[in-house]
Amino acid sequence: MKIDISGLSKFFENRIRLGIMSILIVNDSYDFNSLKSALGVTDGNLASHLRALEENSLIRVNKKFIGKKPNTSYSATEDGERLFRNHLKALEEIIRSR
Amino acid sequence: MENRSEYIEDIRVIKKVMEESSRFLSLSGLAGVFAGLSAIAGAAFAAIFFLDGNLSISEDFFLSLASGGKESLVLKLALLAGIVLLVSLSLALWLSYRKSFRKGLSIWTPVSKRFLTYLLVPLFTGGILILIFIAGGQFNLILPAMLIFYGLSLVSATKFTYSDIFYLGILETVLGLLAAAFPSMGLILWALGFGILHIIYGLVMYRKYER
């Protein structure tokens, strides 16, 4: 049986980026600190993965202030959502294929 | 394919992260059991000390509460209800906190805030309505209102936690409507809703998710 793995995306080979996208698919938006505790990663690590996803337009950054505190939250773009869903479909097909 | 197990792990991570970030999973089944027990204790206390041992409430009792000079009895009943609420709520908070700690989940997350918002909006509405009923002397409507608004708040919050509480919410609401139709049965239906149903629900949840 021929398996179609063209849906796999290199962006999601990394588990942290995979985790970030999984959260942003089921939540309209999620803030930096909550992402950090949900995924159990360090500031710097999370920031660099977020930057990579943002630079490729897979996620959108929303900066605002709550009182005097800056609050940065993230949402998935349409492109990001499509790419992630295709990736997930390809993963499921690969696993089902045997 | 050597990457196969990696892909399986990927899917597992996706599922886990999606579930944990979109549902508040620290609700404790044991908290339901304790809430049920304290509700039954409260209802029994009310029946013994305020209703002369009767489980049914006579129309005269509601009327007498509304007549002048019964303020201290109203206050005692409110105090009893407050104690039951406080005991249930603090146990629920403590047990949920403990459960989230054990599962390594954080308790104050975007989804737990959303869960609380959707839970508390109908609940506070009901609470305020009950205060209005008390002020207006409509005591027969208090027990039904507790059941109905609690039921609706569960239905409202179910999207952000275990889907099981949807059915609990529907049952509480139905019991509330029955209590409104048959005021004399109010205390029995209240004990059934807040007592027995909570215990059953708590045991089901405990067996399903915590063992």
What's the ipTM? Answer: 0.86
Q: What is the mean pLDDT of residues B135-157?
A: 96
- Please tell me if residue B58 touches chain A, with a CB cutoff of 8 Å: no
- A77 in any annotated domain: yes
Q: What's the total number of domains in chain A? A: 1
Helix A43-55 to helix A15-26 angle, to the nearest 10 degrees? Answer: 70
Most confident segment among B63-72, B109-118, B194-203: B194-203
* pLDDT value at residue B2: 53
| Residue at A18 is within a domain | yes
Entry pTM: 0.86
Confidence of residue B67 (pLDDT cuts 50, 70, 90): confident
Cross-chain Cβ contact A22/B1 below 8 Å: no
Is 90 exceeded by the pLDDT of residue B175?
Answer: yes
* pLDDT of A42 over the 60 cut: yes
Residue A5 resides in a domain = no
The answer to the question of residue A1 being in a domain is: no
pLDDT mean over B161-170: 95
Q: Which domain holds residue A49?
A: 10-96
The pLDDT value recorded for residue B30 is 93
Residue given tokens 């793995």 in the structure block = A5
Residues B48-66 have a mean pLDDT of 90
The DSSP 8-state label assigned to residue A10 in this structure reads: G
Answer whether B20 touches A (CB < 8 Å): yes
Q: What is the mean pLDDT of residues B70-93?
A: 93
| A55 falls within a domain | yes
Across B44-49, average pLDDT? 95
Read off the CATH number of the domain in which A71 is found.
1.10.10.10
Cβ–Cβ below 8 Å for B109 and A25: no
Which of A15, A17, A22, A81 is the mutation pick for testing B, counting most B CBs within 10 A?
A: A22
Mean pLDDT of the region B107-133: 94
Per-residue confidence (pLDDT) for residue A96, from 0 to 100: 84
B22 interfacial to chain A (CB closer than 8 Å): yes
**Predicted pLDDT at B107:** 84
> Which of B1, B11, B110 lies at the smallest CB-CB distance from A27?
B110
